[in-house]
C-alpha cells in the first residue's frame, strides 16, 4: 500500500495541511506549485504562460526570493514561506505594497497578464537589494517577458520606489 506523506504549506500567511499521494484530494508528487495555487487554492493571480520557467508569469516568492512556480514541485515546498501576488497587500488594512502602488501610479502594465510575475520579481530584487541601479533593475527583470512593451513604465515605477527611499 502506498504511504501517505504529510505536507504543510505556508502561503500568504496561511497554513495548509495536505497529504501527498494519488488518492482523490491528495497532491501527487508531480503536481506543480502553480497547479496547487491555481486549482486547489483558487489563487489565480499567478499565471501560466510558457510552462517551462522561461517567462516569469508564474513567479511567486519562496522565502523572499522569486521562483518559477510552473517548474517547482509542490511536494518540495514543505516548510517554505510562499507569497503570491494576492499576499503582497496588508491582509488587515488592505493597504497595497509600495510596489503595487507604484505600478498603479505609473500605469506600469497594459494587458496585465505578466504583471503579477513582474511585481513578484521586483519584490524579490528589492528584498535582496533595496537600492538597485537602473541596470540592476533591468537585469533582475530580464527573466520576465512582457509582450505589450510596458517595460519603460515598469522601470519608471521601480525607480520611483528606490528614489522615494521606501523600503519595499
Partner 1 sequence: MSEFRHIGKVRRRQDGRAIVTGKALYCDDLPIKNCYVAKVLHSPYPHAEIVSIDTSEAEKLPGVCGVMTYKNAPDWKTGVPAHRPVMSQHLRFVGDPVAAVAAENAQIAEQALELIRVEYRQLPPVYDVEDAIKPGAPEVYRAEDNIESKGYHYERNCLPPGSWFEGNDPPFYKIQDGDVEQGFAESDVVVEGKVAYTWTFPGAPESPFVAAGWDDDTHVNVWASSQGPNMVCRPLAYTIGAHINVTTPNVGGSYGNKDALGYITMLTVALAKVTGVTVKYALTKEEHLLFYERRLDNKFIGKIGITKDGRIKALQGDWLVGTGAGSELTQGQVAEGLGELHIALNKCPNWDIEAKVVVSNKIPVGIARGFGGQELKACALHLLTRALRQIDMDPVTFYKKNFCQAGDEYYWRTGHKYSNPVINYDKCFDVAAEKFRWFDRWKGWGVPSRVEGNKAYGVGFSLHSSGDPQSDETFAYVRLENDQVMVHCAVSQFGNGQRLALAKIAAEILNVPLENVTINSSDTRTDPADFGAAGSRETITAGGAVGSAAKAARQKLLEEAAEKMGCSAEDLDTKDLMVFRKDDPSVCLPWIAICPMYYSITGEGVVKGDFNHNNCVMNFVEVEVDLETGLAKITDALSASDVGRIINPLELKMQFEGGLGSAGMDTGHLEEMVLDPVIGRVMTHNMIDYKWRPFNELPKFDTAVLESVWPTANPYGAIGIGEITGAAGPAAVLMAIENAIGGAEINEYPATPDKILNALGKAKGGLVE
How would DSSP label each residue in 44-91?
A: TTS--SSSSSSS-TTEEEETTEEEEGGGSBGGG-TT-EEE-GGGSS-T
The DSSP bridge partners found for residue 6 are: 19
- In whole angstroms, how close is the CB of 33 to partner 1 at the nearest point? 15
**Closest CB to partner 1 among residues 7, 59:** 59
To the nearest whole angstrom, how small is the minimum distance from the Cβ of residue 28 to partner 1? 9
Closer CB to partner 1, residue 129 or residue 142?
A: 142
Smallest gap from Cβ 159 to partner 1, in A, equals: 13
Q: Which residue has the cell 521601480?
A: 158
Q: How far is the CB of 131 from partner 1 (least distance, A)?
A: 18
Q: Report the residue number, 8 or 73, with the smaller CB distance to partner 1.
A: 73
> Given the complex with partner 1, which of 79 and 152 has the nearer CB atom?
152
- For residue 136, report the phi and psi dihedrals to the nearest 5 degrees: -65, -35
Any idea of the CA torsion for 61, 140, 72, 86, to the nearest 10 degrees? 30
Burial of 157 (0-12, 13-18, 19+ CB in 10 A): buried
The residues binding partner 1 (CB under 8 A) are 38, 43-52, 54-55, 57, 84-86, 88-89, 96, 100, 103-105, 107, 109-116, 119, 135, 137-139, 141-155
Amino acid at each position: 500500500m502506498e504511504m501517505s506523506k504529510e505536507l504543510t504549506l505556508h502561503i500568504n500567511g496561511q497554513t495548509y495541511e495536505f497529504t501527498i499521494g494519488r488518492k482523490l484530494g491528495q497532491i501527487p508528487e508531480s503536481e506543480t506549485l502553480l497547479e496547487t495555487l491555481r486549482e486547489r487554492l483558487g489563487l489565480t493571480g499567478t499565471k501560466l504562460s510558457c510552462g517551462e520557467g522561461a517567462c516569469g508569469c508564474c513567479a511567486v516568492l519562496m522565502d523572499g526570493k522569486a521562483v518559477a512556480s510552473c517548474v517547482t514541485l509542490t511536494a518540495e515546498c514543505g516548510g517554505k514561506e510562499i507569497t503570491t501576488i494576492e499576499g503582497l497587500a496588508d491582509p488587515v488594512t488592505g493597504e497595497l505594497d509600495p510596489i503595487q502602488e507604484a505600478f498603479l501610479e505609473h500605469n506600469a502594465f497594459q494587458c496585465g497578464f505578466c504583471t503579477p510575475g513582474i511585481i513578484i520579481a521586483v519584490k524579490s530584487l528589492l528584498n535582496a537589494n533595496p537600492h538597485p541601479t537602473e541596470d540592476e533593475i533591468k537585469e533582475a527583470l530580464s527573466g520576465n517577458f512582457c509582450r505589450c512593451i510596458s517595460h519603460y513604465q515598469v522601470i519608471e515605477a521601480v525607480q520611483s520606489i528606490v528614489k522615494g527611499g521606501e523600503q519595499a
